Amino acid sequence: MPMSQEQLADYRDRIDWHCEARPDRATLEELVERHTRTIAFENIDRLTDKLLDLSLDAVVTKLVRGKRGGVCYEQAALFKAVLETVGFEVVGLMARVKWNVPEGHVNGRSHMALRVDLAEGPVIVDVGFCGQTLTGVLDLVSDVEQSTPHGPYRLVREREVWQQEALVLGKWRPIFIFDLQPQLPIDYEIVNWWSATNPKSQFRKMLVVSRSTPGRRTMLHNFDLTTHFIDGPSEHRRLGSAAEVCDIVEQLFDIRIPDRAKLASRLDEVSGLPEGS
């Protein structure tokens, strides 16, 4: 669904994008880079037991006007609307996450990515994959290393299934697998409800915040803050209190917390859980 001109103007201000809007690759690459460096991934609403509203008005109110981040469905829904308003042809996809998943374990389809059809051919964009979010644009071609602002990526195809991979410390690591079947809004509503209500959902057990800015990726898992630098060793810091976590969320990730007291209380509740349990 395209945005209103008022909504698009607010989005432009949010990501500081004031160039001419054209449905071409250069515009798409700039939008991806500006979106991912400005609008963080965060699951505050998930952690505090709030069901996400994926309607366009809701994601604009939260991510754009509310100075919040969001999970993949919110991020991709917003970005898809922006692209359609600019004039791009966009299709929503669904993927199975493989990043940090044990070999042989099969996840459900739970991640939203986008296919964009450019004049020169189809590409994949993905502005909402937490710490390993794609900050560039990938041509839909197999077995070709492609550069992005945060390192090389590639797509590998086996029949109708595609796998997105990132080159990390000299090794290609799988991020997710997907096919090109278009998804409807109801498909995302179902997995949105599952991840918000199922006790096994990791986003109900831990705070996850991430942001990819020039030269680095910064991630927060509950009380653990990690910065991965493109050209140097990573840095890790253990935060000392829920109040300090909230300060980091607001100051470093530039997120407006809707209820600090409630988030701090939930952090204290989950702090004894092993990460990823």
In this prediction, residue 106 has a pLDDT band, given cuts at 50, 70 and 90, of confident
Does residue 91 register a pLDDT over 50?
A: yes
The Cα 190–Cα 129 span in angstroms is: 19
Rounded mean pLDDT of the chain?
A: 94
**Maximum Cα–Cα distance across the chain:** 51
Does residue 68 register a pLDDT over 70?
A: yes
Does residue 267 register a pLDDT over 80?
A: yes
- Please compute the mean of the pLDDT values over residues 88-110 and round it to a whole number: 91
Does residue 184 register a pLDDT over 70?
A: yes
Map the chain to HEC letters: CCCCHHHHHHHHHHHCCCCCCCCCHHHHHHHHHHHHHHCCEECHHHHCCCCCCCCHHHHHHHHHHCCCCECHHHHHHHHHHHHHHHCCEEEEEEEEECCCCCCCCCCCEEEEEEEEEECCEEEEECCCCHHHCCCCCEECCCCCCECCCCCCEEEEEECCEEEEEEEECCEEEEEEEECCCCCCHHHHHHHHHHHHHCCCCHHHCCCEEEEEECCEEEEEECCEEEEEECCCCCEEEECCCHHHHHHHHHHCCCCCCCCHHHHHHHHHHHCCCCCCC
Q: Which token pair is 102?
A: 């044990």
CATH topology agreement for domains 5-178 and 200-270: yes
The Cα 164–Cα 156 span in angstroms is: 7
Q: Looking at the domain 5-178, which fold is it?
A: Arylamine N-acetyltransferase fold (3.30.2140)
Per-residue confidence (pLDDT) for residue 143, from 0 to 100: 97
Domain residue limits, the chain: 5-178, 200-270
Of 105-119, 131-145, 172-186, 188-202, the one with minimum mean pLDDT is 188-202
pLDDT single digits (tens) 29-53: 999 999 999 999 999 999 998 889 9
| Domain 200-270, CATH | 3.30.2140.10
Per-residue confidence (pLDDT) for residue 272, from 0 to 100: 63
Per-residue confidence (pLDDT) for residue 273, from 0 to 100: 45
Per-residue confidence (pLDDT) for residue 98, from 0 to 100: 94
The pTM of this model reads 0.94
Per-residue confidence (pLDDT) for residue 274, from 0 to 100: 43
Cβ contacts of residue 256 below 8 Å, gap of 6+? 66, 67, 68, 250
The Cα 73–Cα 191 span in angstroms is: 9
Cβ contacts of residue 248 below 8 Å, gap of 6+? 220, 225, 239
Tell me which residues are annotated as active site. 72, 111, 126
Q: Which token pair is 172?
A: 């290609």
Distances (CA, A) of 267 to 197, 221, 244, 253: 18, 10, 11, 17
